[in-house]
């Protein structure tokens, strides 16, 4: 019986496989968007501008949220449910804060008169950052489901898969945002 359990642990959980396929698809989409950005930036109507300060603040929020979800997984493995609840809640709040700060960044650009009309650079920024924010929103929804399960007592350390899936996805959107920030700073 012990050998069967060990063999099952070596296999990749179907939900984890599906998540990795999804991550691959998202990577391809952003690779296409950033490639198109590079090609289009040579157009005559390309107007460069500084990234809003809010994007820097949101970067701090999403990096900190990755640390929180890592600590949530660790707490659940140890059976520390109160700490697990706190870390998942913190990740959730920081995820929402990230989205709000992204919105504030666009409001900062609008206040400077930078709009979608006649500005291809801003259009690309809007699409790239907007799609990323939608993916973060998907992660926030997953975290909200985890948090509700904690509150109603349906979370325990016997099933780590849901929090591992959420953590993997959350780290992915964090790393994706870091890539996008570096890309947007270097290729303006």
pLDDT digits (tens, 9 = 90+) for 139-180: 999 999 999 999 998 888 788 889 999 999 999 999 999 999
Residue 40 forms part of a structural domain: no
What distance in Å separates the CA atoms of residue 44 and residue 34, rounded to the nearest whole number? Answer: 19
- pLDDT interval class at 117 (50, 70, 90): confident
Where do we find the tokens 């396929």? 21
pLDDT of 8 > 70? The answer is no
Nearest by Cα to 166 from 143, 148, 147:
143
Where do we find the tokens 């099933």? 159
CATH number at residue 124: 1.20.120.80
What distance in Å separates the CA atoms of residue 25 and residue 7, rounded to the nearest whole number? Answer: 29
Mean pLDDT over 37-62 rounds to 89
pLDDT of 9 > 70? The answer is no
Range of the domain at 64: 26-33+49-186
Residue 125 forms part of a structural domain: yes
Residue 42 forms part of a structural domain: no
Query: What's the confidence (pLDDT) of residue 14?
Result: 83
Residue 98 forms part of a structural domain: yes
Mean pLDDT over 94-115 rounds to 93
User: Which of the two residues, 71 and 1, has the higher pLDDT score?
Assistant: 71
pLDDT of 89 > 80? The answer is yes
Residue 82 forms part of a structural domain: yes
Torsion of CA 11, 15, 19, 22, to 10 degrees: 110
Residue 160 forms part of a structural domain: yes
Cβ contact 168:160 at 8 Å: no
Burial grade of 74 (CB within 10 A; 0-12, 13-18, 19 or more): middle
Q: What is the pTM of this model?
A: 0.88
Q: State the Rg of the chain over Cα.
A: 19
**Domain count across the chain:** 1
- Would you give the distance in Å from CA 145 to the centre of its chain? 16
The three-point CA angle 181-187-188 to 5° equals 95
pLDDT of 2 > 70? The answer is no
């Amino acid at each position: 019986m012990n050998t069967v359990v060990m063999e099952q642990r070596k296999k990749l959980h179907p939900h984890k496989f599906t998540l990795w396929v999804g991550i691959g698809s998202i990577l391809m989409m952003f690779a296409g968007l950033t490639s198109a950005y590079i090609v289009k930036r040579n157009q005559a109507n390309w107007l460069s501008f500084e990234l809003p300060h809010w994007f820097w603040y949101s970067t701090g929020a999403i990096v900190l949220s990755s640390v929180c979800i890592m600590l949530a997984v660790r707490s659940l493995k140890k059976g520390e449910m109160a700490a697990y609840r706190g870390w998942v809640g913190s990740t959730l709040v920081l995820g929402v804060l990230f989205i709000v700060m992204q919105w504030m960044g666009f409001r900062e650009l609008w206040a400077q008169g930078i709009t979608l009309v006649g500005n291809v650079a801003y259009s690309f920024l809007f699409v790239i950052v907007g799609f990323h924010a939608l993916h973060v929103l998907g992660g926030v929804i997953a975290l909200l489901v985890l948090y509700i399960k904690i509150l109603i007592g349906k979370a325990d350390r016997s099933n780590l898969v849901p929090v591992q899936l959420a953590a993997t996805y959350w780290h992915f959107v964090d790393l994706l945002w870091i890539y996008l920030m570096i890309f947007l700073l270097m290729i303006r």
